[in-house]
């Protein structure tokens, strides 16, 4: 087993495998989605809609990617325990 104790934070990302990159991207997208839903719940402000327009192709793609990321993380959650 490789000892990573003296590697600075973030320097081990180039050594990540493809599933780990996918998991990281999915995690970031889910965080973005959670923050957006939090803003909607607190004061009715939809950040994605404000940045990219209400239900434009780009905003729909973002919503779709956030949803797919959530499904991916839910399906892989048990394996990560």
Query: Domain boundaries in the chain?
Result: 26-80
Q: How many helices (H) and strands (E) does the chain have?
A: 3, 0
| Contact call for residues 39 and 47 (beta carbons, < 8 A) | yes
Distance CA 19, CA 38 (A): 28
pLDDT in tens, 1-23: 555 555 454 555 566 677 788 99
Distance CA 50, CA 43 (A): 14
pLDDT in tens, 20-40: 889 999 999 999 999 999 999
Q: Is-above-0.75 flag for pTM?
A: no
């Amino acid at each position: 087993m490789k000892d990573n104790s003296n590697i600075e934070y973030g320097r081990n990302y180039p050594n990540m495998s493809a599933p780990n990159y996918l998991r990281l991207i999915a995690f970031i997208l889910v965080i973005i989605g959670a923050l957006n839903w939090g803003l909607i719940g607190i004061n009715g402000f939809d950040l994605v809609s404000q940045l990219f327009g209400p239900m434009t192709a780009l905003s729909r793609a973002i919503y779709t990617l956030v949803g797919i990321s959530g499904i991916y993380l839910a399906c892989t959650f048990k394996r990560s325990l």
